[in-house]
Amino acid sequence: MMKFHFTFYLAFAASRSMFVAVTASNSNSTSTIQYPRIYVAEINTPAGKEPSAISRFPAEVDLLDYDRITDKIHKISFLVHDEQELVSLVALAKKTKSKTINETITLDLSATEELRLQITTAVEGDKGLFSDVAPQAASVYSTIANYPCYKNLQGSFAWLDDMVQRANIINGLTVTKTDIGNSYLKTKNAASGYDIWAIKITGTAAVGATKGIFFIMSGIHAREMAPPELTSRWVESLINAYGNDADITAMLDYTEIHLVVQSNPDGRQVAETDPSVLRRKNMNPSSSTCSATKLGVDLNRNFPFKWGDLTGSSNNKCSETYHGISAGSEPEVKAIIEYTKSIFPAAQQKLDPINQGQVTYVESSTVGVFLDVHAYSNLVLPPWSYSTTVIPPNNNGLTAIRDKIQYWTNYAGSIGYTAAGTTTDYAYSHLGTAAYTFELGTAFYQDCATFESTIYPINLKPLMHLAKISKAPLSLGQGPDVISLSTSYSPADGKLTIMAVASDSAWSKANVATAQQSVTEIRAFVNIHPYTPNSVGSLLVNGSVIVDVATYQDGRYSVYVQAKDSAGYWGPVTATYFVKSSTAQPTSVPSSKPTSASPTTRKPTIATASPTTRKPTRRPTRRPR
């Protein structure tokens, strides 16, 4: 590591921004090291200054990492794209007149070299067929150079068409794609740029029931390679499983899944073909005062809620977090806004979000989950992102959901800085949907081995869980999960025995208060979904119930199970199939592998409130959301 000795200035209360910058004694020969570079600094953060001090971290810096190392020291790392940026950081520091903390800023040579390896532009990607841990791997499409696990833009578009076609021959499943708007370049010239596409997947079996709605977007930040691949593969896995996997089929029959897989196609095109610029923003030139690689609007700072707040975004057009000229000014953002307003119930949307932002939602009837998938940092972030101190309404519901996602992913659940004008703050303030940002993995250009071995598999259960609770996430998310389900059919007397185990705490990472209730009721529903109006099901006693199916014709039927905790919250529905055959031997069917969770490693089964000693230990880390 080569060290620069710089001086850090932390501007506290006087200014709303805290400037980090450098006065350089630019001593040694780093001039040969190519940009972009990653710098690391350790800042003395007096106890009590967090998180407010951190939240003032300048939007100007392309922040990669933020970790508390000790009680008094934070380590930050950030991207510096070129010499000019380094110089402007120095200038910024000189302008601040407040408390000075002498620190050392260090060029992280190994991180810089690793980054260079990731972004080395190579020859055109090939078809990249590879044997995949998941049968739904999408490598049959054209892929990104050197990253055979990621479909490129054209591959993504071909994939959309394939999914629509594939569904045409699947009974009971509808898959449609919709052009929801144009990219910036296409708004300027119809012959350039791209359409922005949404794909919708849902079953047709539900009759008279309100469905859950799960909206997912990925790719809004161009340089984040893994998110569109995770989201598209998961959706494809659902399509493949429809009609074969009871749990997925039940979920799709009673849920709409909407995915915008490429939310920033203009930027993505650059990120795929010239990784060296680390393109994050869209392609709106926005200004002539900075270099072409720095132009553009950060779409994840352009959404309307708290738009323009300079503690969480920048008005500097060259900044990586430039928020644009007005709220929702960018066509990519407009497309997402208009589409999401059209798919979630109008009655729950707030007409005056700024003033109604803290108004509580009705837990039992507020529909929908909004997920924006980014990279990187291994995080799951609920609202609010504009503030680290304002507690959002329905916080119990929001944190209960996050807690389970953390159980499956081990992602950290918060971060100590602010981001204003984000997708998820918009969703929560305007639409009423539970909203989360995922930050996948450890790199923008994440290596394929890590994607296949870790990122893809650990996110499947969280995605399924979010889908399952999306009918009423703020209440279903607080209820118990069915962690085991099986059936046994006896042809001799026409009786079906249903056995299930439910737990409020088994899939809780931190045993938050909402995961500490006892399970008071488990109900099984045969051949009728619990969402069907007036369905009551059969009560399980001591973990099982016998249902008379003697009058049923031979065939395959679904069994749905749902459990309630002592606080009165029902949890998500879990389903399995049983096959009735009058001639066959008694059947004992182990549960369809519970897709929303396989009992992994630990924990009690039937849950009661277990006083916990565990606490979340990870401190907030990094951000590039």
Cα distance between residue 515 and residue 479, in whole Å: 8
Please, which residue, 374 or 580, has the CB nearer to Zn ion? Answer: 374
Stretch near Zn ion under the rule CB under 5 A, chosen from 59-67, 68-76, 371-379, 559-567: 371-379
Please, which residue, 263 or 503, has the CB nearer to Zn ion? Answer: 263
Cα–Cα–Cα angle for 220, 452, 380, nearest 5°? 45
Stretch near Zn ion under the rule CB under 5 A, chosen from 141-149, 190-198, 369-377, 537-545: 369-377
Starting at the edge strand found earlier in the chain, the sheet holding 2-9 runs 2-9, 100-107, 37-44, 73-80, 62-68
Closest separation in Å from C-beta 624 to Zn ion: 5
Helix (H, G, I), strand (E, B) or coil at 178: strand
> Can residue 306 be called a binding residue for Zn ion (CB under 5 A)?
no
Asked if 51 and 416 touch (Cβ cutoff 8 Å), the reply is yes
Please, which residue, 430 or 625, has the CB nearer to Zn ion? Answer: 625
Stretch near Zn ion under the rule CB under 5 A, chosen from 88-96, 176-184, 213-221, 469-477: 213-221
Please, which residue, 309 or 320, has the CB nearer to Zn ion? Answer: 320
Beta bridge pairs of residue 314: 322
Asked if 570 and 479 touch (Cβ cutoff 8 Å), the reply is yes
Closest separation in Å from C-beta 563 to Zn ion: 36
Stretch near Zn ion under the rule CB under 5 A, chosen from 283-291, 327-335, 372-380, 613-621: 372-380
Please, which residue, 77 or 511, has the CB nearer to Zn ion? Answer: 77
Out of 200, 221, 268, 622, point to the residue binding Zn ion (CB under 5 A): 221
Please, which residue, 139 or 459, has the CB nearer to Zn ion? Answer: 459
Closest separation in Å from C-beta 313 to Zn ion: 13
- Cβ-based neighbours of 451, under 8 Å, separated by 6 or more: 149, 150, 226, 229, 230, 441
What number of helices (H) and strands (E) belong to the chain?
15, 22
Which is it for strands 369-375 and 434-440: parallel, antiparallel or unpaired? parallel
Exposure of 467 in the CB half-sphere (CA atoms within 13 A): 31
Closest CA to 570 of 611, 535, 612: 535
Please, which residue, 64 or 474, has the CB nearer to Zn ion? Answer: 64
Closest separation in Å from C-beta 280 to Zn ion: 7
Closest separation in Å from C-beta 377 to Zn ion: 9
Cα distance between residue 114 and residue 110, in whole Å: 6
End-to-end CA distance of the chain: 27
Give the Å distances, CA to CA, from 225 to 143, 302, 412, 446.
Answer: 11, 21, 20, 7
Beta bridge pairs of residue 3: 106
Closest separation in Å from C-beta 373 to Zn ion: 9
Closest separation in Å from C-beta 444 to Zn ion: 9
Cα distance between residue 338 and residue 340, in whole Å: 6
Closest separation in Å from C-beta 302 to Zn ion: 13
Out of 200, 374, 529, 580, point to the residue binding Zn ion (CB under 5 A): 374
Please, which residue, 255 or 282, has the CB nearer to Zn ion? Answer: 282
Stretch near Zn ion under the rule CB under 5 A, chosen from 26-34, 366-374, 471-479, 588-596: 366-374
- Kindly report the backbone phi and psi dihedral angles of residue 613, in degrees, each rounded to the nearest multiple of 5, phi listed first: -105, -10
Interface residues with Zn ion (CB under 5 A) are: 221, 374, 625
